[in-house]
Structure 1
Amino acid sequence: MMNSVNKAATNGQIAMQTPPVVSAQEWEAARQQLLVKEKAHTRARDALAAERRRMPWMAVDKTYAFETPSGKASLLDLFLGRRQLIVYRAFFEPGVFGWPDHACRGCSMVADQVAHVSHLNARDTTLMFASRAPQADIARLKARMGWTMPWVTITDSFDADFGVGEWHGTNVFFRDGERIFRTYLIKSRGDEQMGGTWNYLDITPLGRQEVWEDSPSGYPQTPTYKWWNWHDSYEDGAAPDKKWVEVSDAGEIALRTPGAQ
């Protein structure tokens, strides 16, 4: 039987019909029952990411130009030497509500959720925001809002060509030498999950690059957890910290224990 929270009714609001209050044992039993579905959801999410890594690629042959804090740049330049590039189309420009003090409320909320990009960089991945606002306005907005991700200015048809001319979205690209391929697009409610390191990596062609993942043959993979580091301590090619290896090994054993989450 549901409990009725009547306090709100005294303020003219509709009373909430809340779940029952149970004992600790009953609560844990209910949690374990729901955990079965949560684990199935996690496995389904992993399987979807594995399918995403096998999506066909689209060659990008057109040339695009962007403005950056250091001058003009091509799409190839936006990779910053890495193999993977994630570009979020944020709406900050004349005509967008909030201009010139703020970007779109939704795009701003997405920006507020972005994790430290060094973790993506450690997986050979660059995250880039892109808008049509001039660089001076972007720099001012980033300083006001405390955002630090790279943010470029679109100067041509890039947004229209990649399905984000009228609405926000996240495109993913892969670089093979100087050849560029489009590998995926997330937009609309798909962008709700973006911001976290894992969710970004899960939409890339290389994934998280850990040995447990179901990836095509030859894809780069390293031992689970071992590459994780403090965001100010990543070093190119540095060996995993020995103490962290011990801790992460223990964590892997715990996760393999029957009943582990």
Structure 2
Amino acid sequence: MSTARPEIVTPEQWRAAREALLVKEKAHTRARDAMAAERRRMPMIRVDKDYRFTAPGGADATLLDLFDGSRQLIVYRFFMDPDMDVYPERGCPGCSMYADQLGNLLHLRERDTRFVAVSRGEQEHLQRYREHMGWAFPWYTLRDDFDADHDVAGWHGTNVFLRDGDEVFRTYFIDARGDEALGSTWSFLDITPYGRQEAWEDSPEGWPQTPPYTWGGWHDKYDHTL
């Protein structure tokens, strides 16, 4: 075990160091907000291909079905595939750690946004593993080249889609270390085209917005399912 540790200082010195760092942390927060504002102004791509998935329970599903009525959709590519050494008993350890840190997804639903995971594994194995690990997110089976077309055939990644009626558009993609920052309600909303949908945000005219701290709260009071 390492014996290395931070320097020991007086309470006054610690507070001075904390306040100096806080200046940089606030600048980082402002820069993150500016990046999210720029992200909300990104163009999008129309999705014309008829992608197919197997839903929990075995039903056939389209990409439009994955929205389940929501306007925005976040799709995480979870590696639990038949060609993995640990399949069908387990999925990728990194993807599993990602799933462990997901917040309560009902808060996303309150913001007209749905999160789902997709893998190439069969439903019987995906759902057994999900229940064993104590996860609640919807998990679908990939049945075509959705992963290849959306940059997640060889690695994990997160795609974001927007629905306008029956039309679907790809708005954003992030992977590698970018996925490390995801998991909380706020982090997911910040990668969607409509963002947190709060009045303080720098968003294009016409974007849905409400006053801050007026929509979130007790998840058991929401009229939603995952």
Distance of 1:107 and 1:177 partners within structure 2: 32
The answer on 1:220 being equivalent to 2:211 is: no
Q: In the alignment, what sits opposite 2:181?
A: 193
CA contact (8 A) 1:84 1:175 kept: yes
Kindly indicate whether residue 33 of structure 2 is the aligned counterpart of residue 26 of structure 1: no
Aligned pair partner of 1:85 in 59, 65, 73 = 73
In 1: Cα distance, 2:168 partner to 2:7 partner: 55
Q: For 2:216 and 2:131, how far apart are their aligned partners in 1?
A: 28
* Map 1:50-69 → 2, pairs under 5 A: 50-69=37-56
Q: Which amino acid aligns with 1:205?
A: P
**1:137-184 per-position Cα deviation (integer Å, ceiling 9, x unaligned):** 111001100011000000000000000000000000000001110000
Same amino acid, percent of matched pairs:
57
Larger relative contact order (Cα-Cα within 8 Å, sequence gap ≥ 6): 2
- Check the 8 A contact 1:86/1:173 in 2, yes or no: yes
Cα distance in 2 for partners of 1:139, 1:76 equals 21
Deviation at 1:218, TM superposition (A): 0.4
One-letter amino acid of the structure 1 residue matched with residue 106 of structure 2? S
The unaligned stretches of length 5 or more in structure 2 are none
Q: Tell me the TM-score normalised to structure 2 length.
A: 0.96
User: What TM-score, normalized by structure 1, do the two folds share?
Assistant: 0.83
Letter in 2 for 1:208: R
> Is 2:121 the partner of 1:147?
no
Give the match for residue 242 of structure 1. none
Q: 1:96 aligns with which of 66, 84, 89?
A: 84
Residue-by-residue CA offset, 1:61-94 (whole Å, 9 max, x unaligned) = 1110000024000000000001000000000011
Q: Distance in 2 between matches of 1:155 and 1:162?
A: 14
The aligned runs of 1:1-261 (5 Å cut-off) are 15-16=3-4, 18-70=5-57, 71-235=59-223
Deviation at 1:54, TM superposition (A): 0.3
For 2:189 and 2:168, locate their aligned partners in 1 and report how far apart those are by CA, in whole Å: 18
Aligned residues: 223
Root-mean-square deviation (Å): 1.1
Q: Which moved more, 1:18-27 or 1:28-37?
A: 18-27
Q: Which runs of 5+ in 1 are unaligned?
A: 1-7, 237-261
Residue 161 of structure 1 aligns to which amino acid in structure 2? Answer: D
Amino acid at match of 2:91: A
Question: 1:96: how far off?
Answer: 2.0
TM-fit CA distance, 1:19: 3.0
Larger-Rg structure? 1
Q: Which amino acid aligns with 2:56?
A: P
Secondary structure in structure 2 of the residue aligned to 1:228: coil
SS at match of 1:87: strand
